[in-house]
Chain A
């Protein structure tokens, strides 16, 4: 089933950032969002993931199908790598964590506490979490931060495998991942948002 975004307007703290955003994400396809810092990519992703309400427009086909990964990985320093993954797998009603460990080269670290990992290793664990959710739509916010070149390749492979299995990905990133994907530049939607006006406009 497609994820369809129609005429979506999103904002933060009462200030509209993007408006008129429309796209369709089909199984097996990836969409890369581009735009400078502060242009509203994160807000758009959070809105699609259902974490904050849209100012206008609709997102359909995304409920209960999204695996969201942002700057913070939600890892617990006191738990081991495999415990962290097992927890998230259980939350999403899954049990397999070995493929995820293998895909991000974490097998050797499985018994290490997450607090003892380097920034890049933590990031890999955070991304491996996506694989144990069993969800079809990956919504990723700057997934490659603090990853080295080899890990970026691993990540791209994981995304490709996910797409090949009929999954979808919506990615905000600055670097070229080498994945065949549609590109959506969000800067074009900013001018439309300016026309929407501040949430306090009712007071004028």
Chain B
């Protein structure tokens, strides 16, 4: 029994169908608890007032925007090395979710930035990096859509994902070099000096857990859809071949 058995589409569907209800439920629970707790039962920040509460959407979505790309990178590598279709389809399924997460992070960032920095948008390194990440996501999805043959598309997008990752990291440092920013330091880091206070911290963790579960559920759901599309294609192909054989 190895993990790779779930690379078989049928087994994967079976497993994901069993797991998904729990993921949806867990995501809903964590998000409701985390957001209600965060929005209504935490004190206002002494400097930022109640605007600080947007952190409960902003930080988890930003985190997931990066992690979604990371997941796509891992899935692409698995496709390149082991050529499991499910892996390529999971990467494809994760991209639009990643786009939405990036958008949420950008929009909530802008809403937060307005009262704090007095502007909706600043060319701050972090914001700019997210905008660049957003462009990478767009290119990745567009390439998937443009290539007809699914295996060719999987190969091309995998290599794009690899190259894109290198350039995204490079851009991150280039942007840092280019403009020192307004953005506060990391909200969560191992360095406790920088960290947000505990009252904000716990509900934030719950929200992050909620976003992770939501992401997993969405990706599994979308991968399932992709698998069913391919399955339909295979059935149609088999049907067509059966027809040919009968005529012959």
In the complex, which of the residues A14, A201, A203 has the most CB atoms of chain B within 10 Å of its own CB atom?
A203
Contact B235 A194 (CB under 8 A): no
Q: Which residues of A contact B149 (CB under 8 A)?
A: 13-14
Q: Which residues of B contact A198 (CB under 8 A)?
A: 233-234, 237-238, 241
Question: Is there a chain A Cβ closer than 8 Å to B9's Cβ?
Answer: yes
Residue on A nearest B244 in the bound complex, by CB? A194
Q: Which residues of A contact B81 (CB under 8 A)?
A: none
The answer to whether A200 and B245 touch (CB under 8 A), given A13-B149, A14-B149, A14-B151, is: no
Q: Of A13, A197, A202, which is within 8 A of B9 by CB?
A: A202
**CA of A203 to CA of B13 in the docked complex: distance in angstroms?**
10
Residue on B nearest A199 in the bound complex, by CB? B151
Contact B231 A204 (CB under 8 A): yes
Which B residues are closer than 8 A to A by beta carbons?
8-10, 85, 148-151, 227, 230-231, 233-235, 237-238, 241, 244-245, 248
Which 5 pairs between the two chains have the least Cβ-Cβ distance? A200-B234, A198-B237, A203-B231, A203-B230, A203-B9
Cβ distance B93 to chain A, nearest Cβ, rounded Å? 15
Which A residues are closer than 8 A to B by beta carbons?
13-15, 191, 194, 197-204
The answer to whether A202 and B8 touch (CB under 8 A), given A13-B149, A14-B151, is: yes
Q: Which residues of B contact A15 (CB under 8 A)?
A: 237
Contact A200 B237 (CB under 8 A): yes
**CA of A200 to CA of B9 in the docked complex: distance in angstroms?**
10
Contact A194 B241 (CB under 8 A): yes
Cβ distance A21 to chain B, nearest Cβ, rounded Å? 19
**CA of A200 to CA of B234 in the docked complex: distance in angstroms?**
5
**CA of A13 to CA of B8 in the docked complex: distance in angstroms?**
21
**CA of A200 to CA of B235 in the docked complex: distance in angstroms?**
9
The answer to whether A200 and B244 touch (CB under 8 A), given A13-B149, A14-B151, A15-B237, is: no
In the complex, which of the residues B8, B150, B234 has the most CB atoms of chain A within 10 Å of its own CB atom?
B234
Q: Which residues of A contact B241 (CB under 8 A)?
A: 194, 198
Contact B238 A203 (CB under 8 A): no
Contact A204 B235 (CB under 8 A): yes
Q: Which residues of B contact A199 (CB under 8 A)?
A: 151
**CA of A202 to CA of B151 in the docked complex: distance in angstroms?**
13
Contact B238 A197 (CB under 8 A): yes
**CA of A201 to CA of B212 in the docked complex: distance in angstroms?**
33
